[in-house]
Amino acid sequence: MATHTRELSSTEAATGRTAVRVRGLNRSFSEAGGVLDGLDLDIAAGEFVALIGRSGSGKSTLLRALAGLDRDVAGHGEITVPSQVSVVFQDSRLLPWRRVLDNVLLGLRSRGAAVRGREALAEVGLAGRERAWPHELSGGEQQRAALARSLVREPQLLLADEPFGALDALTRIRMHVLLKRLCAEHRPAVLLVTHDVDEAIVLADRVIVLDAGAVSSDIRVDAWVRPGGRRSQADPQFAALRTRLLAELGVEDDHDPALADRRKEPA
Ligand SMILES: Nc1ncnc2c1ncn2[C@@H]1O[C@H](COP(=O)(O)OP(=O)(O)OP(=O)(O)O)[C@@H](O)[C@H]1O
């Protein structure tokens, strides 16, 4: 990792244990007002952060800025990210005219890439499907292939924008287990944009809430849910955190007694 201090280079490395550092990031698309308004954010190396927020709160805008996909954000703040960043979207974005392994290897020229690509496909449970066409895979399998394509690049930062949003509930749970295992093994920093509060709690070390263009809450999940334990929706702490996060998103659940106590819980 290398240091850089000048404005906005989304391709340069962050320092030491910090994978992502954002300071004073502004982004607007019209005169009416900013989508991101002086946003600050730090993500440590190997840390898994989930980003939630109301529709239109700027989650994808932030992710695109970090991914270097928003050229017009230059000069509107300071962003530092690692040199190796992978992005996964809601749709797999596999090229339909390339076989699965060729999609995974796209743009990779290094020696041994094919071997690593096969290994990555095996890691996501797609061994034997290397020569399949994308349309021959299910939606879940396509997202697995997209994860393999990311992993083979050994990212220090994985950016994921609703990667499981289009999957059925069961496949989504399987993908949670898979992503958690892959992250434990490869230890990238992760920023996961999701609408699913439970998904955020199950997967993340921290949940960040975006509101009015800035971080409105930054919550360590282990401060709520048993540290290191299996995160179960049946756990009262899990339910309390869910209730708090839903309330921050403007969804009040009058039937949940935890809601009344949410301001007393650890932040
Ligand atoms: N390229 C663009 N041109 C104009 N407006 C844009 C552009 N990209 C985003 N916006 C606007 O910026 C705001 C934030 O959009 P963004 O996609 O970041 O929100 P989001 O939090 O990801 O929303 P959702 O949860 O609905 O996906 C929205 O009002 C959107 O219309």
Ligand 1 atom at shortest distance from the alpha carbon of 195: 25
Residues 6+ apart with CB under 8 A from 218: 206, 207, 208, 209
Lowest average pLDDT, out of 70-79, 140-149, 187-196, 237-246, goes to 70-79
Q: Is the CB of 53 under 6 A from ligand 1?
A: yes
For a substitution probing ligand 1, which of 59, 71, 193 has the most ligand atoms within 8 Å of its CB?
59
Closest residue (by CA) to atom 8 of ligand 1? 61
Q: Domain for residue 245, yes or no?
A: no
**Is 102 within the bounds of a domain?**
yes
Geometric angle at alpha carbon 54, from 145 and 205, rounded to 5°: 55
Residue nearest to atom 29 of ligand 1 (CA): 56
State how many domains the chain has.
1
- Ligand 1 contact via 250 beta carbon (within 6 Å): no
Residue 55 in contact with residue 193, Cβ under 8 Å? no
Cβ 150 under 6 angstroms from ligand 1: no
Question: Considering only 74-78, 132-136, 235-239, which range has the smallest mean pLDDT?
Answer: 74-78
Which protein residue's CA is at the shortest distance from atom 3 of ligand 1?
29
57 Cβ inside 6 Å of ligand 1: yes
Residue 252 lies in a domain: no
Nearest protein CA to atom 10 of ligand 1, as residue: 29
Neighbours of 233 (CB within 10 A): 10
Per-residue pLDDT tens digits for 176-220:
999 999 999 999 999 999 999 999 999 999 999 999 889 999 999
Task: Say which residue, 73 or 160, is predicted with more confidence.
Answer: 160
When computed from its CA atoms, the radius of gyration of the chain, rounded to whole angstroms, is: 19
Q: Ligand 1: which residue has its CA nearest to atom 17?
A: 60
Nearest to 132 by CA among 170, 92, 161: 92
Residue of minimum CA distance from atom 16 in ligand 1: 58
Ligand 1 centroid–CA 41 distance in Å is 19
Q: Residues 6 or more apart from 141 whose CB is under 8 A from it?
A: 126, 129
- Total number of residues shown for the chain: 267
Distance of CA 155 to the CA centre of its chain: 12
At 41, is the secondary structure helix, strand, or coil?
strand
- 183-186 long-range contacts (CB < 8 A, ≥24 apart) are 183/48, 183/158, 186/151, 186/154
Mean pLDDT of the chain: 86
CA angle, 206 then 34 then 67, to 5°: 50
CA of 37 to the centre of ligand 1 (A): 14
pLDDT in tens, 162-180: 999 988 999 899 899 999 9
Q: What is the extent of the structural domain holding 96?
A: 46-68+83-233
Cβ 96 under 6 angstroms from ligand 1? no
194 lines ligand 1 (CB under 6 A): no
The closest residue, in CA terms, to atom 27 on ligand 1 is: 55
**Considering the domain boundaries, does residue 104 fall inside one?**
yes
State the pLDDT at residue 257: 53
Assess contact for 43 and 18: CB atoms under 8 A.
Answer: yes
Look at residue 220 and tell me if it is in a domain: yes
Q: Which residues pair with 108 in a beta bridge?
A: none
Q: What sections of the chain are H helices per DSSP?
A: 59-67, 100-105, 113-123, 139-151, 169-186, 197-203, 236-248, 257-261
Buried b or exposed e, range 31-60, using 16+ CB within 10 angstroms: eeebbbeebebbbbbbbbbbbbbbeebbbb
Per the domain annotation, does 260 fall within a domain? Answer: no
User: Which of 61, 161, 193, 210 maximizes ligand 1 atoms within 8 Å of its Cβ, making it the mutation to test the pocket?
Assistant: 61
CATH number at 217 reads: 3.40.50.300
User: Can you tell me whether residue 87 is helix, strand or coil?
Assistant: strand
Residue 46 scores a pLDDT above 90:
yes
For residue 166, report the distance from its CA to the centre of ligand 1, in Å: 19
Residue 171: inside a domain = yes
Name the pLDDT band for 261 (thresholds 50, 70, 90). Answer: low
